[in-house]
Amino acid sequence: MKKIVWLFVIACLVVVSGCQQQKTNAVDQQVEEHGKPCVLSFINVGKGDAFLIDVPDDGYYLCDTGKEQDFATIARVLALKNINHINGIFLSHGHLDHAGNVENLLKNYTVDKIYISNQEDPSYRKFPIREIVSRYDVELVELQSNQHLQFHDLGIDVWIPPYVDKKNENNNSVVLKMRYGNHSILMTGDMELEEEATFLFENKDIQSDILKLGHHGEKDATSIALLERVKPKYGIITGNAKENPQSVNKTIKKRLEQFQVNAFYSEGNQLCTEFISTKNRMKIRYFYDQHVDSDVRIEELNIDEDYVLLKNNGTQTVNISNYHLRSKKGEEWFTIPEETMIKPNQELYIKTLDCDEDVQPYILWKEKDVWDDDLKEAVVLYDKNYARIDKKEGVKKDE
């Protein structure tokens, strides 16, 4: 009897612990059958577009780069996937919720090419892409409408509207239809109804399994006519109720239900939602962060005196080389120099040029104006792989 009970307990444990494993195994099994899959990672950056595409036997591509404050999330995804080199970055247009991290990416990774529209897109007036790119060793490619690109087995059809919309910059978004085996996805940037109409008029083959909805799923995009032609099974909405209530409006939600489109929003605590294609089969899974423990903590952020105080609360010396500090509101980054160690109970100041205090020992964060004095500033500490370790809100000494 006892034996039967134990067998039952063991069987239950196997079922429970197997749940998480099951998804991965199913993917692994398919990998064995069909080779390495093509993975589209919808990075969870709230209102902003950032997608990573892992192309088998080719490399990694990004479609848009999110807002500047999303850099840590994108860098974390790249670190967990061991990516140091990016083959190409496609920009739908130059708005900062799409192109916000071009410079951060060029600073921290080797990038071969950046792909932009060949039209005089007015969204690049405030974001001088050519000037930024000229400072780095990267090729700027101007995409042409109806151009076809082939990255090993991934084919990309490019479409760009023939006329520049000067009033509504969103309507100059580059549209990409990507095909891998039997699967396809339509990336639309911030395309709104006017651009959609031209697109529908010009293009015949736009049916796609996945539709990245235009303009963050707001009501001014994703017409019934578009859904009728694209016939997507899955819809990706780069927005959520908290950050942009327009992204979860009833009209589009109802429309997606009507067309039986399974909708994915940038909400929840996953790092990415991944669409994994083995050419004839598609799997969807969530990719989560891994928890990292560290004994190094932020003791204090002093806004008036312009310093951050770190302390090792553990019993072992910690190597904090290449750890990162970020001023949350000022949006400045600092990477801790090589061979920086903190012994147990030791404190270390990271000060800026504005700091007049005689604090020891310290490392100089060379920037001035790191902290935003007017807003509620905070500092965030990340390890060398962009795992978030600690956060502290700023205090003013006279408070």
Beta carbon nearer to Zn ion, 41 or 65? 65
- Tokens standing for 272? 């990415």
Query: Considering only 184-192, 277-285, 298-306, 313-321, which stretch makes contact with Zn ion by CB under 5 A?
Result: 184-192
Q: How far apart are the first and last CA of the chain?
A: 69
Beta carbon nearer to Zn ion, 188 or 273? 188
User: Considering the complex, what minimum distance in angstroms separates the CB of residue 190 from Zn ion?
Assistant: 4
User: Considering the complex, what minimum distance in angstroms separates the CB of residue 247 from Zn ion?
Assistant: 10
Q: How far apart are CA 279 and CA 251, in angstroms?
A: 33
Q: Should residue 306 be labelled a site residue for Zn ion when binding is judged by CB under 5 A?
A: no
Residue with tokens 């067309």: 259
Q: Which residues of 265-287 are buried (b: 16+ CB within 10 A; e: fewer)?
A: bbbeebbbbbbbbbbebbbebeb
Pairing of β 307-312 and β 296-302: antiparallel
- Collapse the DSSP code of 113 into the 3-class scheme (helix H, G, I; strand E, B; otherwise coil) and give the result: strand
Interface with Zn ion: number of residues (CB under 5 A) = 2
Query: Considering only 93-101, 221-229, 267-275, 310-318, which stretch makes contact with Zn ion by CB under 5 A?
Result: 93-101
Sign of CA dihedral 24, 26, 27, 28: positive
Beta carbon nearer to Zn ion, 157 or 190? 190
Q: Should residue 305 be labelled a site residue for Zn ion when binding is judged by CB under 5 A?
A: no
Beta carbon nearer to Zn ion, 97 or 274? 97
User: Considering the complex, what minimum distance in angstroms separates the CB of residue 275 from Zn ion?
Assistant: 21
Q: How far apart are CA 270 and CA 105, in angstroms?
A: 22
Give the DSSP H or E segment for 35: none
Residue with tokens 């270390």: 348
Query: Considering only 10-18, 90-98, 219-227, 284-292, which stretch makes contact with Zn ion by CB under 5 A?
Result: 90-98
- Collapse the DSSP code of 61 into the 3-class scheme (helix H, G, I; strand E, B; otherwise coil) and give the result: strand
User: Considering the complex, what minimum distance in angstroms separates the CB of residue 63 from Zn ion?
Assistant: 13
Q: How far is CA 137 from CA 102, 103, 107, 382, 386, in A?
A: 13, 12, 10, 27, 24
User: Considering the complex, what minimum distance in angstroms separates the CB of residue 181 from Zn ion?
Assistant: 30
Contact 233, 207 (CB under 8 A): no
Residues 365-394 close enough to bind Zn ion by CB under 5 A: none
- Tokens standing for 57? 């036997």
Tell me, what amino acid is at 40? L
User: Considering the complex, what minimum distance in angstroms separates the CB of residue 34 from Zn ion?
Assistant: 35
Beta carbon nearer to Zn ion, 103 or 190? 190
Q: Should residue 218 be labelled a site residue for Zn ion when binding is judged by CB under 5 A?
A: no
Q: Should residue 103 be labelled a site residue for Zn ion when binding is judged by CB under 5 A?
A: no
Beta carbon nearer to Zn ion, 187 or 389? 187
Q: Should residue 190 be labelled a site residue for Zn ion when binding is judged by CB under 5 A?
A: yes
Beta carbon nearer to Zn ion, 247 or 327? 247
CA 249 to chain centre: 23
Residue with tokens 């990672």: 41
Beta carbon nearer to Zn ion, 123 or 327? 123
Judged by CB under 5 A, which of 64, 97, 195, 209 binds Zn ion? 97
User: Considering the complex, what minimum distance in angstroms separates the CB of residue 344 from Zn ion?
Assistant: 47
User: Considering the complex, what minimum distance in angstroms separates the CB of residue 189 from Zn ion?
Assistant: 7
The residues of the shown chain that bind Zn ion, judged by CB under 5 A, are 97, 190
